[in-house]
Homo-oligomer: A and B are copies of this chain.
Amino acid sequence: MDRGTTESDLIELLRSGSGASARLDVGIGDDAAVTLPGGATATSVDAVVEGVHFRTEWSPPEAVAHKALATALSDLAAMAAEPGEVYVTLGIPSGTSDGYLEDLAAGFMTAADKFGTVLAGGDTVSSPVLFAAVTVVGHASAAAEFVLRSGAAPGEVVAVTGRLGGAAAGLWLLENDATAVDGLDSADRAPLIDRQLRPSPRLYAGRVLGRLGATAMVDVSDGLARDLGHVAEMSDVAITCDARMVPAQTGVAAVESAAGRAPQDFALGGGEDYELAVTLPGSDFKPASEALRALDLDLTAIGRVIEGTGFDLVDEDGQRDMPTGFDHLG
């Protein structure tokens, strides 16, 4: 509220490019956005902060906007929600150029559109550090369609979409300015960095899994141990995964080796990959994996839900301590 004309200009810019939907009755420009939801609504909030979740020297404004929206929408993917409206509050340092702000606003509009959402509201405030706080709202025709963390039952399979470890490997490459890594094919380098800077929320895959038997779901943001630990706790079960079965993104092993980390460390504990970890009855695994295959996305069984509490990881040596989540940037 304290950038005066700049705020009005930015809101005008956001409004001119903001989308429309049957559900959005009044968009940007009034005191609040008005929606006509019907059914049930899933709402999640998140924020990215310069120097903590992104660095402007690595991320152009378009990538900042992409990551801010993607990480927030990943929570809706894990609910099996239909993506709906997004709201963005930007904290803007006084020295920020108009060009940067325009690119950032354009980035949010592009990303909102790409992810099938409508930018329904926003605000800007002065801040000594650049940040973007994002609220995302998803929908379902009934609350029972959402997949919570609390539905896992003993006997079910634990699976993950896609491949893990890429975000942590990409971060290591950025932080170490590593131009050549032994055993890392140059073609595999950019996808690792891209996973760190421009993750993809698995919105469609989440809805497919929700319809094909998912009993509990979470996005892999903090690392498998912590994320599946939440599922175990909220479902009042134990989850055991086999470290060797966790699929790693191509090139991750080479970066783990260059970084002096144990094999699978990034895949198991890196987080920030924004894939989905899901529990489902064994009989539902094959149909679900075939449906995701049609989306060019793997679904890999990595463990079992059993009676008990907590998350355990086993490898050929039996038990193994998991990294409990990395410190990401900063």
Interface residues of chain A, those whose CB is within 8 Å of chain B, are 1-2, 4, 25-26, 29-38, 40-49, 51-53, 75-76, 78-79, 81, 85, 87-89, 91, 120-123, 125-129, 131, 133, 135-138, 143, 146, 148-150, 217-219, 221-222, 234, 271, 324-325, 327-328, 330
Contact = CB atoms under 8 A, between A and B. Distances in A.
Contacts of A4: 324-325
A224 to B, nearest CB: 14
A105 to B, nearest CB: 15
Contact of A330 (B126, B149, B218): B126
A91 B47 contact: yes
A123 B148 CA distance: 17
Which 9 pairs from chain A and chain B are nearest by CB? Answer: A133-B133, A32-B44, A32-B42, A31-B75, A31-B78, A135-B135, A45-B87, A49-B127, A52-B126
Nearest to A35: B41
Contacts of A137: 43
Given A52-B2, A234-B30, A40 B45 contact: no
Given A4-B325, A47-B89, A127 B125 contact: no
Contacts of A1: 221-222, 271, 328
A79 B121 CA distance: 14
A242 B126 CA distance: 32
B131 A79 contact: no
A148 B29 CA distance: 10
Contacts of A271: 1
A15 to B, nearest CB: 11
Most buried by B among A1, A25, A53, A218: A1
B26 A148 contact: yes
Nearest to A216: B30
5 contacts: A1-B222, A2-B328, A35-B43, A43-B121, A47-B91
A66 to B, nearest CB: 17
Nearest to A325: B4
B150 A89 contact: no
Contacts of A143: 25-26, 34, 36
Contacts of A149: 29-31
